[in-house]
Structure 1
Amino acid sequence: MRTHRSPRRVAATAAALLVLGLAGCDFFDSKDKAAPEIAFMPYTEGYAGKPDFARLEYQHPLSPDDLYKITPKNLSFLDQEQVDQIYARLSAGPIPDGPFEGDLFFPRGGSGKLRLSEIAGGGLKGLVVNVAGAKLDLVGETLWKGKVFYRGERLLRNRIEDLSALKKLGLVEENDANPLATEKIAGKDQWLLFPAKLYCGQSLLDGRRESIIIDYAFTDELPGYRRMPDLLAGRDGFAIRDEIRMVYPGFYLGRAYMDRSFVVNFVLYNKDIAERAKEEFMKTGKVQEDCWPGTQQRVAAIRSN
């Protein structure tokens, strides 16, 4: 089943995808060689040694200047607790609309490799296809790359740049009656797969305020669903649930969960939005909040002129 959108909407999305394909790479390929200079609270191993998020935010609020120090590259110089402390001081911001570039990142001390086959263990024994080992790892590497948000429909699809590896492993079903839909980005075909529901919901890390949720549980009920490979992200597969919060307009920090267990960090970026909204955000530190900001609303440290 395909989603029928107006020619104007399709043309606008295609144009935005072209711009992203040409201009989004520099953001992910920054030359940072150290962690961002942002304040953190002290912590130790174990739950009892973690700081209270409300106290953290009160003592060390993040200013717009602080937020613009953050890049996908320098996040990898932080450990997971520090990444969590940044995430807890963010709010959801506006639900994104349109295409975003994306990538995984691994904090300091991590393996630098996402291995869903090790994380899943025996948890996929009920899966109706034989998927294991390298196949699982490949799915993980494709799920948290570029995405297209359909804000009005509360729907998301993942952009897959290279489908050949998934096809070679037998993870793509295609026939003349149900051909794969593609978008042309910077002269290259990209496929829109793994549809997900998009809504506001409780963060699994910080319950004081909502995050934007990308939920694959009922992917089989969404327009554009095809059994393989989309089934792998749904409730009969990995049961993937992502949540994101805005670092600054156009840039989101995400956390991916598999069956409610945290698996990896990721980032999403739209250069056009980031450049267009920067001046106003630097002045006020405020944006439209589509999700519940909670009773302990985010503290924004604004510099005085």
Structure 2
Amino acid sequence: MAYDVAQLLAMNQTQLDDLFRESPAGDIPNGSAKGTAIIAPGTRYSESIADIINHFGWQGKVFDAEKGVLKNKVLAFGFEAIIARVYKDTSWLDGKECIVLDYSETSLVAHWIRDEIRLIGPGFYLGKVYWGKSRLIDFCLQF
């Protein structure tokens, strides 16, 4: 099944977790991706929150697969900052392979953050954000 952002925003947390568990890691992506934060999944607030975050906080990520790094596109003008190492490893959610976006050694601002992504469609990834070992939110990336 092909998914879009609206469908993900309408899903509840259990549905998002199940989709992540069912999906392969996929290849480490390369290039620029539009990001959407998924907060309060499955509620009427999810889309409004995502719009606000996209306009003022976080717009997505730019991957360099060859170097195994990424930069986040932040602030209203898409400034590229907050670097992460990118590699495949075991997911904290289910113990299966995922792509890890690791900020622990590359960012003073986000050193406690770890993202995990999996491929849910062509050029489309679903992600989980962890603060330490605690899950925070979900997000998606469209290439």
Could you tell me the TM-score, scaled by structure 2's length?
A: 0.86
Match 1:152 to one of 62, 66, 69? 66
Aligned partners of 2:70 and 2:135: how far apart in 1?
20
Deviation digits for residues 173-225 of structure 1 (CA, Å, limit 9, x no counterpart): xxxxxxxxxxxxxxxx5321000110111111111x210000000115xxxxx
Q: What SS does the aligned partner of 2:28 have?
A: coil
User: Which letter maps to 2:8?
Assistant: L
Query: Comparing both structures, which one devotes a greater share of its residues to helix?
Result: 1
Q: Which runs of 5+ in 2 are unaligned?
A: none
Following superposition, the deviation at residue 109 of structure 1 comes to 4.6
Match of 1:255 among 101, 105, 128: 128
Instruction: State the structure with more CA Rg.
Output: 1
CA distance in 2, matches of 1:260, 1:195: 20
Q: CA–CA distance in 2 between the matches of 1:110 and 1:217?
A: 34
Aligned length: 136
- Runs of 4+ with >2 A deviation: 109-114
The within-5 A match list for 1:122-201 is 142-143=57-58, 145-162=59-76, 190-201=78-89
Query: 1:98 matched to which residue of 2?
Result: 31
Q: Within 5 A, what are the aligned runs for 1:82-121?
A: 82-106=15-39, 107-109=41-43, 112=46
What SS class does the counterpart of residue 212 from structure 1 fall into?
Answer: strand
User: What is the RMSD computed on CA atoms of the aligned residues?
Assistant: 2.1
Is the contact made by 1:72 and 1:105 (CA closer than 8 Å) also made in structure 2? no
- Cα distance in 2 for residues equivalent to 1:246 and 1:192: 23
Q: Distance in 1 between matches of 2:134 and 2:75?
A: 27
**Secondary structure in structure 2 of the residue aligned to 1:102:** strand
Give the aligned partner of residue 129 of structure 1. Answer: none
Aligned to 2:118: 245
Match of 1:219 among 106, 113, 128: 106
| Alignment check: 8 A CA contact 1:202 1:211 kept | yes
Higher strand share: 2
Query: Residue 292 of structure 1 corresponds to which residue in structure 2?
Result: none
Q: Kindly report which structure 2 residues correspond to 1:14-25, keeping only aligned pairs within 5 A, or say none.
A: none
- The verdict on how the C-alpha distance between 1:110 and 1:85 changes in structure 2, with shifts beyond 3 A counting, is farther
Q: Distance in 1 between matches of 2:17 and 2:86?
A: 22
3-state DSSP class of the match of 2:78? strand
User: What is the distance in 2 between the residues matched to 1:259 and 1:199?
Assistant: 18
Are residue 233 (structure 1) and residue 106 (structure 2) matched?
A: no
Shift of 1:161: 4.3
Instruction: After TM superposition, give the deviation of residue 256 of structure 1 in Å.
Output: 0.6
Q: Which residue of 2 aligns with 1:10?
A: none
Letter in 2 for 1:232: V
* Superposition TM-score, scaled by structure 1 size: 0.42
Q: SS of the residue aligned with 2:118?
A: strand
After superposing the two structures, state which structure 1 stretch, 104-113 or 240-249, moved more.
Answer: 104-113
Structure 1: where are the runs of 5+ without partners?
A: 1-65, 115-137, 163-188, 221-230, 271-305
Say which SS state the counterpart of residue 66 (structure 2) adopts: helix
- Note if 1:203 corresponds to 2:91: yes
CA distance in 2, matches of 1:216, 1:102: 17
